[in-house]
Homo-oligomer: A and B are copies of this chain.
Amino acid sequence: MLGSRLLEAENDVLLERLSEIVGPANILALSGDMAAYTEDWTGKYRGEALAVVRPASTAEVTEVVAACAASGVAIVPQGGRTGLCGGGVPVPGKPSVILSLTRMTKIRSLDAAGRTVVAEAGVVLETLQAEVAKSGLAFPLSFGAKGSCTIGGNLATNAGGSNVVRYGNTRELCLGIEAVLPDGSVINALTGLRKDNTGYDFKDLLIGAEGTLGVITAAVFKLFPEPTARATAFLSVASLDQAIEVLNKVQDRTGGAVEAFEYMSQPAIDVICRAFPDIRPPLEGTVETGVLLEVASIRPADGRVLQDGSIGLQNDLMEILAELMEAEFIVDAMLAQSERQRGELWRMRESVLESITANGPAHILDISLPLANVATFVTEMDQEAHSLGFQPLTIGHLGDGNLHYALAAAPSYDWSGLPLETAKEVAFALLTRLNGSFSAEHGIGQSKLPVMTKLKEPAQLAAMRAIKTALDPNNIMNPGKLIPLK
């Protein structure tokens, strides 16, 4: 009792110090005020916090980290709370402060000739896209949560999305970071150099580390010219294997212009159309292997308007698709004829997560495979899933071998009685056999720690622990995430 009172007193001292650093308006310590911060988007993860602090600058972050470190209180860095694995909320048993980066929203500089931008961690992805567009440039990272996720969270989880096939993950888009380490020291590497071989690669070590090695406070990103032309189509391809042939052929014919190559299975399309009755399926009848394909080009020649009013790139894509239909790779295709039709295709793609959620309980695997093994996985796993009473609702960023394989209850089955653990084990065994990964782009957080413990190479787990202990000996940076307890 006395111990707990002493602890409370110590916590009061810490909260007072934090309040001095960020100002009383930017610290929340009442559970009602904190409610929005202690639970994430999924609703599955909720954690207690001593306080939520919202610093406005890197200097304030440094002081917050130093104060928490001195008190032995954990720090949970948090962005837009759109993560799917519970990485952004505290775990039980460790007194924690949530460090919300949402007030660090400056775009510090934009170099149009050098094609780079420096943005703070709390900038919302869609805001960054919009700001950059004002200079005629594009920041290509994009996915459903773009309106609320922050670039700090994108970096911490190495977020992927729909354009990775062309531009890479967040990692590949980032040229350098500013970060506060667990000891309160600051790494300042925002020069935006394309080449800089001066020691270990901290940028890439912190990207994808889910806040366990430090707090990323700002980053410099590559920018790209805004495409002058786009062409978007929805395809029914004969099989997943043939889809990969289609991808390679379209890449070669367009000079690598594919910006999105998104797989959608018929059951997933059905679920979307049920959840959003105004979304109509783009093709008549049942789709074999649905693919949302988008190509984009900055070449003025590709943006030229032809005599019949069509755009050069769209015309080229139509020709390529016609040839692929002739060769029986593609069964049916619909080319978006207007920006509105393109918007409808993308709205369908981006509604999938909400639609699956609306459909009922489901477990979504975020997995990846070598392209050559995607079809084998889907065929074998679908069979197993059906036999266990599940209905797979699969979509994926097929160009990257990344599937979001959702296990829902098959009609007439009750979710609560289904053997989810068995199904997951079957999936993971298949992934292991086919050189796949149990976590492609959503990260580990809390939710995938058990599978991480089981499937990650012991040598890598040991090396991860060694690095974590070296940089964060007191385990105050986002404890209980990413690294399994021994």
Residues of A at the B interface (CB closer than 8 Å) are 111, 113-116, 157-158, 160, 164-165, 169, 171-172, 181, 185-189, 191-202, 204-205, 207-209, 213, 225, 244-245, 248, 251-257, 297-300, 302, 368-372, 397, 399-402, 435-444, 452, 456-464, 466-467, 469-471, 482-483
Interface pair A460/B111, CB less than 8 Å apart: no
What's the minimum C-beta distance from A309 to chain B, rounded to whole angstroms? 21
Contacts A/B (CB < 8 Å), 30 sampled: A114-B371, A116-B370, A157-B197, A185-B459, A186-B459, A187-B457, A187-B463, A191-B370, A191-B436, A192-B435, A193-B368, A193-B401, A193-B440, A195-B402, A197-B441, A197-B442, A198-B452, A199-B452, A200-B208, A200-B213, A202-B460, A204-B205, A225-B256, A252-B298, A253-B300, A255-B298, A255-B302, A466-B470, A466-B471, A470-B470
With both beta carbons as reference points, the residue of chain B lying nearest to A199 in the complex is identified as B464
Q: Which residues of B contact A457 (CB under 8 A)?
A: 187-189
Q: Provided the pairs A191-B435, A471-B467 are in contact, do residues A197 and B370 lie with their beta carbons within 8 angstroms?
A: no
Q: CA–CA, A169 to B440, complex, Å?
A: 23
Q: Which residues of B contact A255 (CB under 8 A)?
A: 255, 257, 297-299, 302
Q: Which residues of B contact A460 (CB under 8 A)?
A: 187, 189, 199, 202
Q: CA–CA, A437 to B191, complex, Å?
A: 9
Interface pair A467/B204, CB less than 8 Å apart: no
Q: Which residues of B contact A209 (CB under 8 A)?
A: 200-201
- Give the one of A116, A171, A460, A463 with max B CB within 10 A: A463
With both beta carbons as reference points, the residue of chain B lying nearest to A220 in the complex is identified as B370
Q: CA–CA, A256 to B165, complex, Å?
A: 16
Known: A199-B482, A205-B205. 10 other contacts (CB 8 A): A113-B248, A114-B372, A164-B195, A185-B459, A193-B435, A196-B440, A200-B205, A200-B213, A202-B463, A255-B255
What's the minimum C-beta distance from A450 to chain B, rounded to whole angstroms? 13
With both beta carbons as reference points, the residue of chain B lying nearest to A397 in the complex is identified as B195
Q: CA–CA, A437 to B401, complex, Å?
A: 36
What's the minimum C-beta distance from A373 to chain B, rounded to whole angstroms? 9
What's the minimum C-beta distance from A318 to chain B, rounded to whole angstroms? 15
Interface pair B196/A113, CB less than 8 Å apart: no
Q: Which residues of B contact A459 (CB under 8 A)?
A: 181, 185-188
What's the minimum C-beta distance from A403 to chain B, rounded to whole angstroms? 10
Q: Which residues of B contact A192 (CB under 8 A)?
A: 370, 435
Q: CA–CA, A193 to B189, complex, Å?
A: 28
Interface pair B467/A197, CB less than 8 Å apart: no
